[in-house]
Amino acid sequence: MKRILIAITTMMVIVLSGIAYTQDIASKPSSSEGTIQSITLPNIRIELKEGEGRVKTETYCNICHSVDYIIMQPKANRAQWTASVNKMIKTFGAPVQPEDAETIITYITVNYGTVK
């Protein structure tokens, strides 16, 4: 019987001290409460390889995503890049005119595709 009383008393002390500790923390204001903090991120600009169509490719692709998405892709052939660009236009609504899409596809295929 003594052991049970000791065990129950110990459990109550642990639970009550945890509650008191939690209430003590909650009552203290945070040192950053009510302040706005900011950080400055580095300006990292990914530039595509020089070539005909680079400016149009950077301009249109940067509307929806950074151009590092282009350079991260595995090398693909023209048909694969065409499918990718068409998906951007038809599925995701990229505002690219057909003649500009051809320029982009050619640029990406030559510079980041399997065609050299």
Residue 17 clears pLDDT 60, i.e. is over it = yes
Cβ within 8 Å of residue 88, ≥6 positions away: 64, 94, 96
Structural tokens at position 89: 């236009």
Top pLDDT among 2 and 42 is at: 42
Task: Report d(CA 16, CA 22) in Å as an integer.
Answer: 10
Global pTM value:
0.62
Domain segments of the chain: what residues?
54-112
Residues 6+ apart with CB under 8 A from 86: 101
Beta carbons of 27 and 80 less than 8 angstroms apart: no
- The CATH number assigned to the domain with range 54-112 reads 1.10.760.10
- Among 102, 115, 112, residue whose Cα is nearest residue 50: 112
Confidence check: pLDDT of 5 > 90: no
Residues 37-94 pLDDT 10s: 899 988 878 889 999 999 999 999 999 999 999 999 999 999 999 999 999 999 999 9
Residue 27, pLDDT > 70, answer: no
At residue 7, the pLDDT reads: 74
Cβ-Cβ contacts under 8 Å for 95 (sequence gap 6 or more): 60, 63
